[in-house]
Chain A
Amino acid sequence: MRLRAGDVLHFAWGALHGYPSRALLMLLAMSIGVASVVMLTALGEGARLYVQGEFASLGSNLLIVIPGRSETAGFNPSTLMGETPRDLTLEDAAALRRSHLVRRVSPLNIGSAEISRQGRVRDTVIMGGTAELLQIRHWRIAQGRFLPAGRWNRARPVAVIGRHVKEELFGAEPAVGQWLRIGDRRFRVIGVLESEGRSIGVDVQDVAIIPAASAQQLFNTRSLFRILVESRSRAAIAPTRKFIVDTLQTRHQGVKDVTVITQDAVLATFDRILGALTYAVGGIAAISLMVAGILIMNVMLVAVSQRTAEIGLLKALGADRREILGLFVGEALLLSSLGAMAGLLLGEAGALILRQSFPELPAHAPLWAVLASLTVALVTGVLFSLLPARRAANLDPVAALSGR
């Protein structure tokens, strides 16, 4: 091919100028395709990072002990007897402190109760915990202090409340030191939580936290909802898990009847789900790129039949098959790269708007998605122009020149 690349582009540019509405339509299709890939993957990636951030705020060395076993391991008399699993108790939780692997432990009870003061009443989520819950959950105290350390089985009548609860019950008055009523018991407010955000689906501004033993009395139960364990380090998570399972098995007469989930595992699961979601929306958006490719093919086919005489002329002037092919593929390539660039700008602009409208959602399109969408745009542009370009290249010059 003697034709210069610069000439191909110049010629293609001229051809696009010659049919502006057609060129604009193709640009639009291509840019919408690329923009949707960029924006949708940005959205997916943003969601993934958002969830990751939420989990990180929970503490990443966290292990959660849940009563009951989600899988069957070997023969177990309890499976035969249809026995319900043993409850987790405060003593179980206390036993988990006896390891150097464990940094903090807090039993957890959750329930709902009416909380009232001087005629103001609201339904509130009540959490029963211990002093270490504060650090395990990475919460901060705004006023007063958190639950006191000390013997867990002492049911002290003290409560730490979230900000909404404080505002609704006390308004602008100081709450610390005041009494309120939870269910039919009286509690003295010793602190107000500063933290915002959610934790296991509960807004921490809407909770009241009381000692675990008090919560057991309040809800009239001996069992715990969860035990939260924080291991010394990330590396200690696996041995800690083994320690928990072994200790509780011993305490429960040799029956493995608890499930331990790690923060890591939950995070990894979410990561996988959201990662897959990102790929999925990216894939769906890529279909629009394919559609754009088909549109390019269609329009190029029309271009070839409109410019038959021109193709015949170029052949008479000394263009061979490959040069005609090059001219038409070059035109498609120019179109799709312009479209892809416009789409990239559009998509990034969209992601920027998303980020500004929802600051908590870090919607950045991942690099792979940007590169993939650009590549797919160019490849579809070339692939789908090959058929029309081949048709042009194979035109019989005599027939083409006579307009047949």
Chain B
Amino acid sequence: MKPVIELRQVHRDFQVGDQVVHALDDVNLKIATGDYLSIMGPSGSGKSTLLNLIGLLDRASSGQYILDGRDVTSLSDGEQAVIRNRSIGFVFQAFHLVPRLTAAENVELPLMLAGMPLHERRSRVAKSLEALHLADRAQHKPDQLSGGQRQRVAIARATIMEPAVLLADEPTGNLDHRSGMDVVEILETLNARGITLIVVTHDAELGRRARRRLHMLDGRIHVEQGATV
């Protein structure tokens, strides 16, 4: 099967003082469409850098990144923004909901950035909130929602554009165990429907659930378990 994500000899170096830190050191990775992948490792191992790079929030210092058969390594800021908007969904540990906007307005943001007409947006947002059992919370502000509800709003937002890839950075990190499990189940359901799911986590229990598991150390993929679909 053709990989949706392919990284070839990717390096990401940071200059810290007069020292160069190799956050990613010669990473080669293929991720197939519909894969469920977890990336684990200690702090500073480069797992978040890898996720940011896949999410086009960061650029490789060298190497190649092919997304959906297209070399996206050297695309302009505007072109990358379009890809982030259409093909990639982000779920963050800190939810990152805009506090002054309602749940529905938060979910609507990617559609607004895509320039979609208002009436179309409203119906899509309503459907998406319905699917995540948030219909009665649509007009609530984030501070009126529980942690689990907030993360579900964030998931609705990440999936509203029906992206190919969903990136989750410690999605349960700020949640109690039960809400965390809810969120994980939602993510896995989405994966079962075909979305490529990549989860970065400290949590070994969460990491073990993925079919494919990467352990990172010092910017390299240290151990890889599980098989590509």
Q: Which residues of B contact A6 (CB under 8 A)?
A: 118
Kindly state the separation between the CA atoms of A188 and B100 in the bound complex, as whole angstroms. Answer: 87
Q: Which residues of A contact B113 (CB under 8 A)?
A: 2-3, 314, 317-319, 323
B84 an interface residue at 8 Å Cβ cutoff?
Answer: yes
- List residues 312-334 of chain A with CB under 8 A from any CB of chain B: 312-323
Kindly state the separation between the CA atoms of A322 and B118 in the bound complex, as whole angstroms. Answer: 21
Q: Are A309 and B96 in contact (CB under 8 A)?
A: yes
Q: Are A3 and B84 in contact (CB under 8 A)?
A: no
Kindly state the separation between the CA atoms of A231 and B109 in the bound complex, as whole angstroms. Answer: 77
B90 an interface residue at 8 Å Cβ cutoff?
Answer: yes
Q: Are B96 and A318 in contact (CB under 8 A)?
A: no
Q: Are A318 and B78 in contact (CB under 8 A)?
A: no
Task: Select the residue from A2, A313, A317, A320 with max chain B CB neighbours within 10 A.
Answer: A317
Of A9-17, A28-36, A251-259, the stretch lying at the interface with chain B is A9-17
Total of A-B residue pairs, C-beta within 8 Å: 71
Q: Are B57 and A398 in contact (CB under 8 A)?
A: yes
Q: Which residues of A contact B96 (CB under 8 A)?
A: 309, 312-313, 316, 401
A84: shortest Cβ distance to chain B, in Å?
83
Q: How many residues of A contact B (CB 8 A)?
A: 27
Q: Which residues of B contact A3 (CB under 8 A)?
A: 112-113, 115
Q: Are A318 and B86 in contact (CB under 8 A)?
A: yes
B55 an interface residue at 8 Å Cβ cutoff?
Answer: yes
Report if A320-B81 is in contact (Cβ < 8 Å); known contacts: A313-B96, A314-B109, A397-B57.
yes
B114 an interface residue at 8 Å Cβ cutoff?
Answer: yes
Q: Which residues of A contact B112 (CB under 8 A)?
A: 3-4, 7, 11
- B114's closest neighbor in chain A, by CB? A2
B29 an interface residue at 8 Å Cβ cutoff?
Answer: no
Q: Are A318 and B81 in contact (CB under 8 A)?
A: yes
A149: shortest Cβ distance to chain B, in Å?
85
Residues of chain B touching chain A, judged by Cβ–Cβ distance below 8 Å, are: 52, 55, 57-58, 77-78, 80-82, 84-86, 90, 92, 94, 96, 98-101, 105, 109-110, 112-115, 118, 157, 161
Residues of chain A touching chain B, judged by Cβ–Cβ distance below 8 Å, are: 2-4, 6-7, 11, 14-15, 17-18, 309-310, 312-323, 397-398, 401
Closest 6 CB pairs of A and B: A318-B85, A2-B115, A320-B81, A18-B100, A320-B78, A397-B57
